[in-house]
């Protein structure tokens, strides 16, 4: 018998109720856990805490995603993580949304190399830019407020991203990273996900990773296929980590109807298949995502397990 750990990214919000989802509600409810621990609620950090890592290295998410994308990570490089946002009438980001067309500026004084991750997210490699990491200050698109939403601390980087705008969109840099070792976790696992950050985590830990083109990381993902892949993996290992991202993506788009519909699909299509299996199932969420604001939410997350 295997242990299936199902992480539903961005599942909760102020209107989330377990009673709206019969399969979830049928599971044993343990004490809720706040995986953000008072910090910024972010997928990689919260997932590592779900897996039992207490001290999460800083500035690591872009590195993990670079591994997930199959990119070479050199010790002297700086990596920046950026996402496209729609900008409202007040000049503030109100939801994640990519423009139909944009052009990267030409750079002469610094080598900035873009890599697309999908769903409007980008990585940028700055070769031999390691020394910039500490002095570079980044905005947070998850908390609206004053400011021009541009990096501070390097004029070339600031100028580069100031040009990545359209009348209603802006590519906002919200994380930075340099090569850093990741502490090994004790229990080898198989990770099933469509997200670069989870696939990269598996690669860095030396774990098997499973993905498929039909696993999209959004609300159109194939949940029946995900269930089959999960059970196949559970038959050959002691723990399977399954990451489902559709609710978080709908929340970022401020699509409350889409988020609720997706969670109902998870509850009716994926969970019954897993609950009928002989394997032990634990379900939780890394953090919340509020479709009213498009922002991640900290706070206690449900922790459920099969009877």
CA distance 121 to 248: 14
- The number of beta carbons lying within 10 Å of the beta carbon of residue 28 is 10
pLDDT of residue 141: 60
For the segment 233-244, what is each residue's pLDDT rounded down to a tens digit? 999 999 999 999
Residue 252 parent element (H or E):
helix 246-252
CA distance 244 to 234: 17
For the segment 34-43, what is each residue's pLDDT rounded down to a tens digit? 999 988 899 9
DSSP label at residue 38: T
- 93 neighbors 149 (Cβ within 8 angstroms): yes
Dihedral (CA of 54, 59, 65, 66) sign: negative
The pLDDT of 266-284, averaged and rounded, is: 98
The pLDDT of 102-114, averaged and rounded, is: 85
For the segment 278-295, what is each residue's pLDDT rounded down to a tens digit? 999 999 999 999 999 888
Closest C-alpha among 109, 7, 105 to residue 51: 7
Asked whether residue 80 carries a pLDDT value surpassing 90, the answer given is: yes
Average pLDDT, the chain: 92
Asked whether residue 142 carries a pLDDT value surpassing 60, the answer given is: no
CA distance 305 to 29: 7
- 80 neighbors 126 (Cβ within 8 angstroms): yes
CA distance 122 to 115: 6
For the segment 153-172, what is each residue's pLDDT rounded down to a tens digit? 999 999 999 999 998 999 99
Mind listing the domains of the chain with CATH numbers? Answer: 3-56+184-305 (3.40.720.10), 64-178 (no CATH)
Confidence label for 96 from pLDDT (cuts 50, 70 and 90): confident
pLDDT of residue 188: 84
For the segment 172-220, what is each residue's pLDDT rounded down to a tens digit? 999 999 998 887 777 889 999 999 999 999 999 999 999 999 999 999 9
Asked whether residue 302 carries a pLDDT value surpassing 70, the answer given is: yes
């Amino acid at each position: 018998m295997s242990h299936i750990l199902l992480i539903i990214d961005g599942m909760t919000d102020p209107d989330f109720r377990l009673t709206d989802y019969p399969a979830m509600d049928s599971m044993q409810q343990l004490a809720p856990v706040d995986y953000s621990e008072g910090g910024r609620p972010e997928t990689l950090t919260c997932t590592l805490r779900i897996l039992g890592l207490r001290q999460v290295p800083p500035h690591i998410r872009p590195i993990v995603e670079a591994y997930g994308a199959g990119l070479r990570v050199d010790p002297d490089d700086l990596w920046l993580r950026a996402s496209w946002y729609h900008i409202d009438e007040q000049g503030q980001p109100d939801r994640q949304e990519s423009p139909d067309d944009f052009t990267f500026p030409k750079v002469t004084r610094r080598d900035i190399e873009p890599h697309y991750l999908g769903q409007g997210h980008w990585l940028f490699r700055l070769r031999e830019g390691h020394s910039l990491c500490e002095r570079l200050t980044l905005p947070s698109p998850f908390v609206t407020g004053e400011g021009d939403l541009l990096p501070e601390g390097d004029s070339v980087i600031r100028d580069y991203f100031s040009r990545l705008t359209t009348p209603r969109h802006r590519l906002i840099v919200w994380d930075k990273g340099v090569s850093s070792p990741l502490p090994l976790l004790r229990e080898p696992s198989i990770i099933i996900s469509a997200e670069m950050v989870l696939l990269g985590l598996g690669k860095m830990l030396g774990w098997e990773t499973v993905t498929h083109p039909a696993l999209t990381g959004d609300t159109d993902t194939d949940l029946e296929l995900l269930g089959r892949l999960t059970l196949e993996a559970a038959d050959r290992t002691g723990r399977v980590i399954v990451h489902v991202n559709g609710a978080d993506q709908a929340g970022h788009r401020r699509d409350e109807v889409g988020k609720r519909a997706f969670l109902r699909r998870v509850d009716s299509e994926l969970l019954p298949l897993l609950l009928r299996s002989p394997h032990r199932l634990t379900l939780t969420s890394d953090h919340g995502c509020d479709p009213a604001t498009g922002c991640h939410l900290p706070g206690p997350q449900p922790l459920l397990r099969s009877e």
